[in-house]
Amino acid sequence: MNSKEIIKISDKYLMHTYKRFPIALVSGKGALARTADGKIYLDFFSGLAVNNLGHCHPAVVKAIHIQAGKLMHTSNLYYTVPAMVLAKKLIGLSFPGKVFFCNSGAEANEAAIKLCRKWGNPKKNEIITMKESFHGRTVTTVTATGQTKYQKGFDPLAPGFKYSALNDIKALRKAITNKTTAIMIEPIQGEGGVNVPDVKFIKEVRALCNKKKILLIFDEVQTGIGRTGKMFAYQYFGVKPDILTLAKAIGGGLPLGITIAEKKIAGVFEPGMHASTFGGNPVTCAAANAVLDTIKKEKLLQNANKMGSYLVKRLNEIKKKSPKIKEVRGKGLMIGVELKEKGAGIVKECMEKGLLINCTAEKVLRIYPPLNVKKAEIDKAVKILKGVLTR
C-alpha cells in the first residue's frame, strides 16, 4: 500500500484526534524514517521526544526481542527481573526513593498527584502548576495543564488546581494556601514553547516548598532521559524534586511511564491504593534498561551537548540572515526556535524538503534530533532550515 491508500482507510476508521501530515511511515533507522512511498526523511522530532536513540536502535530491538521470547506479561502480583533492574537503575540515576511503573506520561503524573493528595490528606489537597504547562490529557492531568485550550468542553474539570506564571515567585507565594500540598513544574516547558525557567526561580521554588512543607513535582516526561544533555533537566538547576515523573523516551518507543518519589512520600501508598495492569511490563522494562545502558555506553549525553551547541550555533547564524526568527533557545537537543510568525507553514515546507520538525505554541519550532545524531545530519537539516527560513 502507498501513503495515499493508508491515509484513506485510516481516516475512515480512526478518530480524528490528530492533525496528521499526509505521509505514512513504514520503517526507520537512526535519524532516518522511510514512508510507504519510499521517500526518506531526516527525523528531527524523534516521535515527540520518544526516539532519543533514533529509530530501531539495535540494542533496544535486541532487548525487546529476547524478553518477548522469555516472558511478556505477568501482572503485578509477581516479581520480574527487568522491573527490578530498571527500578534500581533509576534510583541510582536520580535520588534515594521508590519507583512506580505505569504506561504513559499522564498516568505518571496522575500517580504523582494521587501521592501528593494522600500525603496531604485530610488537610492539604491543592496543587499549583504553571501557566503554559502541559501535564497530560486525562481529566485530572488536563486540569493540571495550565492551558485552557486543552480543557475547553471537558467540564467539569478536576477540582484542586491553581495556576501561576513561570518565573514569578511573588505570584507563586501568593497562590500558596494552607491547603497547598504540591507544586508541579516542567523544568523546561515542552508543549508550552520550550520555555526554560530562570535558575533563580527554580531554586526559590525549592526553598519555598521546603519552608511551607509543600511537595515539589518535576514533570520530566519530555525533558528526561538525556533530551537536554543531562539525564534529567532538573540537574541544571542544582535542586532535586520530591517526586519525578518520566515517560516518552524511557521505553525506547514502547509505552512506559514512571513516578519516582522520595522514600517517605512513596510510603504513603499502601498495597491496593494505586495500580496499573501493564505497569512495569517485562518487555517495556527490558527496552528501558537497554535505553539507559546505551546512553551510558555510547556517551550520548556528551554527544547531545556537543551536537546541541553546534546546532544552536548554526541556528543563530540563520537567525542573523532571517527576518522570521525571534529567538533560539533550549538545552542540549531540546531546541526551540521562536518565530515572529506562525510556524505551521515552515514545518510543512521543511517536510517537503525532507526534514521532519514540529511547531508548538503556534510560533515555536521544536527541533529534537535523536541524542546520537551525527554532525553531517545536522548540516543537512540546517541547509533545509536555512533555505526555508531565509527565503
Applying CB under 6 A, the residues found at the interface with ligand PLP are 104-106, 109, 134-136, 186, 190-191, 219, 221-222, 247-248
Q: Which is nearer to ligand PLP, 181 or 222 (CB)?
A: 222
Q: Which is nearer to ligand PLP, 104 or 294 (CB)?
A: 104
Smallest gap, in angstroms, from Cβ of residue 256 to ligand PLP? 9
Catalytic residue among 43, 44, 45, 219: 219
CA distances from 369 to 2, 86, 311, 319 (A): 26, 25, 10, 19
Question: What distance in Å separates the CA atoms of residue 202 and residue 148, rounded to the nearest whole number?
Answer: 24
134 tagged catalytic: yes
| Beta carbons of 365 and 374 less than 8 angstroms apart | no
Question: What distance in Å separates the CA atoms of residue 377 and residue 359, rounded to the nearest whole number?
Answer: 20
Neighbours of 40 (CB within 10 A): 13
248 tagged catalytic: yes
HSE at residue 166, side-chain half, CA atoms within 13 A, is 21
Smallest gap, in angstroms, from Cβ of residue 333 to ligand PLP? 15
The residue sitting closest to ligand PLP, measured at its beta carbon, is 105
Cell of 142: 488536563
Question: What distance in Å separates the CA atoms of residue 116 and residue 355, rounded to the nearest whole number?
Answer: 42
Smallest gap, in angstroms, from Cβ of residue 191 to ligand PLP? 6
3-state secondary structure of 246: strand
Catalytic residue among 44, 45, 100, 134: 134
Question: What distance in Å separates the CA atoms of residue 319 and residue 2, rounded to the nearest whole number?
Answer: 38
Smallest gap, in angstroms, from Cβ of residue 385 to ligand PLP? 23
Q: Which is nearer to ligand PLP, 285 or 382 (CB)?
A: 285
Catalytic residue among 124, 230, 248, 331: 248
Q: Which is nearer to ligand PLP, 101 or 389 (CB)?
A: 101
Catalytic center residues = 134, 219, 248
